[in-house]
Structure 1
Amino acid sequence: MTRIAAALFTCAALAWQPAAAQNVAPIGDAQTAGALGAVCDPAWGGVPRLEAIAYCQGFLTSFGQYHALLHPRGAPPFFCLPTPGPTIAQSGVAYAAWARANPQHADEPALQGLLRWARATYPCPR
């Protein structure tokens, strides 16, 4: 029974692999705003898609935590999230849409693009 389950799992895992997986840039190479946008809303499927989404969500979570650490120490916030704020998944999809709509920022560092998106999407009241 264990062998059958293992065989079925292996077949399912192989079936999930996209045909063009060899053409996908390594996820860790998301150094630019455009590359991060592609990782946050990957066009490929299977396990690489799950890895890309996890990378995106980790990147956004780290960015948010760093921002939260700066704000209480007296630094003015870069952006102001509503209450309740968006989920990390919603943020990743929204950032990817912003990156596609703003190709003029595609070659900027990923963190700079993410900050541009957050400021445009969640401006602080004056």
Structure 2
Amino acid sequence: MRLVATVAMLGLLGLSTAHAQGPRGPDRDNDLTDHVQTVADLAAVCDPRVQGMRRYEAIAYCQGFVTAAGQYHALLHPTGGPVRPLYCVPSPGPSVAETGIGFAAWARENPSYAREPALDGFLRYAQAQFPCPPMTPPARRGRPTR
């Protein structure tokens, strides 16, 4: 079931394997708001330093991507669930806008991930920014007394 949900989510985010590996043509280079594939692409639409007529679309795309990725992670890793989360956002956490801006800054500081799929990079960012506390081993049960 999780594999089906993961594949569906990746399809919604436009990150299918064939799509992620295809080249961008000259007509696509300036239109990332509907063709984000890599960490560099997502960072470009999330970067507040980018200006122009398409800035509002870029903000909407960035915030939608961040929201969808966060909600999907929360569904896969509910509080108290059997699977340890990939990252742990404090409460209260940053706003969606702050998260997008933080991701763009992280991507600038980590150019070695620029060509990775956008979702992979976003998860790397979230793990670095919001690490989970160390796991505590379950308490050992002593032998019952007779």
TM-score > 0.5, shorter chain as reference: yes
User: In structure 1, how many angstroms separate the alpha carbons of the residues matched to 2:32 and 2:108?
Assistant: 19
Structure 1 gaps, min length 5? 1-21
> Could you tell me which residue of structure 1 aligns to residue 95 of structure 2?
87
Give a deviation string over 1:44-71, Cα, whole Å, max 9, x none.
223x100000000000000000011011
**Of 44, 57, 69, which aligns to 2:51?**
44
Percent identity between the two aligned chains? 55
TM-score by length of 2: 0.67
Q: How well do the aligned residues superpose, as a CA RMSD in angstroms?
A: 1.5
Distance 1:125 1:28, change over 3 A: same
Higher helix share: 1
User: Secondary structure at 2:77's aligned position in 1?
Assistant: helix
User: In structure 2, how many angstroms separate the alpha carbons of the residues matched to 1:32 and 1:95?
Assistant: 13
TM-score by length of 1: 0.78
Shift of 1:23: 6.3
| Number of aligned residues | 104
Distance 1:105 1:98, change over 3 A: same
Letter aligned with residue 84 of structure 2? P
> Could you tell me which residue of structure 1 aligns to residue 111 of structure 2?
103
User: In structure 1, how many angstroms separate the alpha carbons of the residues matched to 2:126 and 2:38?
Assistant: 16
**Larger RCO (alpha carbons 8 Å, 6+ apart):** 1
Matches within 5 A, 1:22-33: 24-33=30-39
Structure 2 gaps, min length 5? 1-27, 135-146
> Could you tell me which residue of structure 2 aligns to residue 71 of structure 1?
77
Shift of 1:24: 1.9
Indicate the larger mover: 111-120 or 27-36.
Answer: 27-36
**Of 131, 135, 143, which aligns to 1:123?**
131
Contact 2:45-2:59 at 8 Å conserved across structures:
yes
Shift of 1:26: 3.2
